[in-house]
Structure 1
Amino acid sequence: MTIDRRSALLGGMAAAGLAVRAAAQTPPPSTSALPPARPQPTETIDLWPKGAPGMPATPPVETVNERSTDPLINDRAVFGITRPRMVVFRPAKPNGAAVLITPGGGYSWVVVDKEGYELGAWLADRGITAFVLFYRLPHEGWAAGPDTPLSDAQRAMRLIRHRAPYYGIDPDRVSAIGFSAGGHLCADLAARFAAPTYAPVDAVDRLSARPVVAAPIYPVISMALPTAHERSRANLIGTDATLTLERAHSPHLNIAADTPPCFLVHAEDDNSVVVRNSLLLRDALKARSIPVESHIFTEGGHGFGLSRAKGKPAAIWPELFLNWARYRGAII
């Protein structure tokens, strides 16, 4: 799909009065613990028009913790999400590409700033419309259990495509990037984008949830110990999970022929999510002849995102991703 066609679609929707309005959407996660260190996004998209499916009998309460004590840096984490939503970063001049961002947090919470808003703003500065996903957590009692985050990611991808004309997006150029446990979600989306994890709720669910490319960054991949990140595993499938459940939620064991090309980043000195996770995914992709680009850096640790990679070999990863995504046709 070309930019001209996208522009024509945008004009057609506006003429038909079908432009999507931001009114009545749930605001972004916020906290009064520290004032925002930078301008905050305000536009959001709720995923589920009649509420998220499978609500627990006792719903969790959304809570945002500010973990930073530096007034110049925000480091927020949110849990208890009952209204999963995307926060939108719009570029001044959209180039037609879009990225769904799934931050990490060990499936205990969803990181707001260092793996969400920082990348969203960075991509928007480069013409890419970014959507930061605040997904539900699997251990908080949702009926879908371990598939709960994937349900939100699938629905998010479909909504982005549904609203592509409104945002000036080419629906054939919607990518996914995820970090740590959010990298697991990104890889799970790449592997199981078509898995029926929820009952369709409207016409949006007839659209594909497949990202054109996926970039799991220092991702949790294996659910088998000792490779698995223990906290992510416990929160996703439980401490006493069966081998069958481990395999069902280990993306490298679910790669399909139509899994999208993947871009992997990890640091050798990651002592939280060991680098073997990315290597297992790489090998599984290559075994199915899925294009994969891998960058294994000597230093970077875990959770470096953008700002925390500065001065380290891993700091170059965002530019490497853009270069690779252009080559794959996901960005022009």
Structure 2
Amino acid sequence: MDRRTALIAGLAAAGMGGKAMAQTSPPATAAPRRALAVPDPQETIDLWPGTAPGAPATLPTEVTTERSTDPAFNDRFVRGIGRPRMAVFRPARPNGAAVLITPGGGYSWVVVDKEGYELARLLAAQGITAFVLFYRLPHEGWAAGPDTPLSDAQRAMRLIRHRAGGYGVDPGRVCAIGFSAGGHLCADLLTRFAVQVYAPVDAADAQPARPDAAAPIYPVVSMSAPVAHPGSRRNLVGEDASPAREAAHSPDRNVPANAPPCFLLHADDDPAVPVENTLLLRAALRARGIAAETHLFPDGGHGFGLRLAKGKSVEHWPDLLLPWLKRVAILA
């Protein structure tokens, strides 16, 4: 992990290559801000022309908070996302593969570094073009309610394919990876990619939203007690959600026959999102005949990402992910 960290830090410029576009800037910590351990990406893609669909009368105010006090790394989260967008990490030599990353945050906020930029830099160092999605939160007044994050994820997949040529990306080699509540969004995308949750707005929406492969990492899956993560459930479907509403937003109960192959990973000692979430999704995928490579580790807790996995049995999980990406033909 130390060697990998050194490598990706040295290749940070490659991961951020490409001229900045006239789009909304990436989330930035409000002043006074601490110096960044690694420079932020400069290129972003706004998801929607103009205002995102179903906007409240007053858009939420975006606020980024820094949690880290260690100058060696940043650990930010952002809430109040009124202009959903992707931060782009271009590799020095694109190999045609692309990954859409959906960080976690319990649908209360979206993590920036730990489950977003850190993985994006690692993937870019491997030649994979990475797109970190800052999606709208379902409880901040958007008309689509619990389908709001899925609207952004579907739109993001379509935009990646629509603009694939400009990034050296093969539109048939796009994977989705998500963590925790972002793992729920990843699982929602891999199961409900064909559900119309927004009205088409331009030519990009003619592209398919189905990922070619998907990797929900320690994902929130079920919206039903006792397995549901309470905070994610409250923010997505509400405290008093009916059984039908819970089922509609539990990916394990919505797996289609043409779901993509999956990579599942969880720690048995996860105190926040029980490992049963991953087991439910695995069983549902297998019942449909969908390949689901599954890795369970005795320790790791929750929210380990890359950096916090060090010294635990889950430490080398990226070394399992990359060969899987080759086996499912995301990596050539």
TM-score, normalised on structure 1?
A: 0.93
1:34-45 correspondence runs (5 A): 34-45=34-45
User: What amino acid maps onto 2:67 in structure 1?
Assistant: R
Unaligned segments of structure 1, at least 5 residues = 1-19
Cα distance between partner residues in 1 of 2:129 and 2:110 = 20
User: How far apart are residue 21 of structure 1 and its match?
Assistant: 7.8
Residue matched to 2:185 = 185
- Decide whether the 8 Å contact of 2:19 with 2:43 is kept in 1: no
Q: Does 1:153 align with 2:174?
A: no
Cα distance between partner residues in 2 of 1:158 and 1:59 = 24
Taking only aligned residues, the RMSD between alpha carbons, in angstroms, comes to 1.0
- Partner of 2:236, secondary structure, is helix
Cα distance between partner residues in 2 of 1:113 and 1:298 = 25
Residue matched to 2:24 = 26
User: How far apart are residue 315 of structure 1 and its match?
Assistant: 1.4
- Decide whether the 8 Å contact of 1:22 with 1:45 is kept in 2: no
Cα distance between partner residues in 2 of 1:110 and 1:280 = 24
Unaligned segments of structure 2, at least 5 residues = 1-17
Residue matched to 1:269 = 269
Q: Percent identity?
A: 67
User: How far apart are residue 297 of structure 1 and its match?
Assistant: 0.3
User: How far apart are residue 73 of structure 1 and its match?
Assistant: 1.6
Question: Structure 1, residues 38-86: CA drift from partner, whole Å, max 9, x if none?
Answer: 1211100000012200111222100000011112221100000000000
1:213-224 correspondence runs (5 A): 213-224=213-224
Cα distance between partner residues in 2 of 1:127 and 1:293 = 23
Residue matched to 2:252 = 252
Q: Does 1:237 align with 2:237?
A: yes
How many equivalent pairs are there?
313
Question: Structure 1, residues 76-128: CA drift from partner, whole Å, max 9, x if none?
Answer: 00000000000000000000000000000000000000000000000000000
Cα distance between partner residues in 1 of 2:23 and 2:329 = 32
Residue matched to 2:140 = 140
* Larger mean Cα displacement after TM superposition, 269-278 or 53-62: 53-62
- Partner of 2:315, secondary structure, is helix
Superposed structure 1 runs of 4+ greater than 6 Å apart: none
- Partner of 1:316, secondary structure, is coil
- Decide whether the 8 Å contact of 2:19 with 2:42 is kept in 1: no
- Partner of 1:88, secondary structure, is strand
User: What amino acid maps onto 1:275 in structure 2?
Assistant: V
Cα distance between partner residues in 2 of 1:276 and 1:184 = 13
Question: Structure 1, residues 150-171: CA drift from partner, whole Å, max 9, x if none?
Answer: 0000000000000100000000
User: How far apart are residue 226 of structure 1 and its match?
Assistant: 0.9
Q: Does 1:319 align with 2:319?
A: yes
Q: Does 1:162 align with 2:162?
A: yes
Cα distance between partner residues in 2 of 1:89 and 1:102 = 14
User: How far apart are residue 23 of structure 1 and its match?
Assistant: 3.0
User: How far apart are residue 278 of structure 1 and its match?
Assistant: 0.1
User: What amino acid maps onto 1:125 in structure 2?
Assistant: A
Question: Structure 1, residues 255-297: CA drift from partner, whole Å, max 9, x if none?
Answer: 0001101100000000000000000000000000000000000
Q: Does 1:205 align with 2:209?
A: no
Residue matched to 2:118 = 118
- Decide whether the 8 Å contact of 2:90 with 2:130 is kept in 1: yes
Q: Does 1:60 align with 2:53?
A: no
User: How far apart are residue 22 of structure 1 and its match?
Assistant: 4.7
1:95-110 correspondence runs (5 A): 95-110=95-110
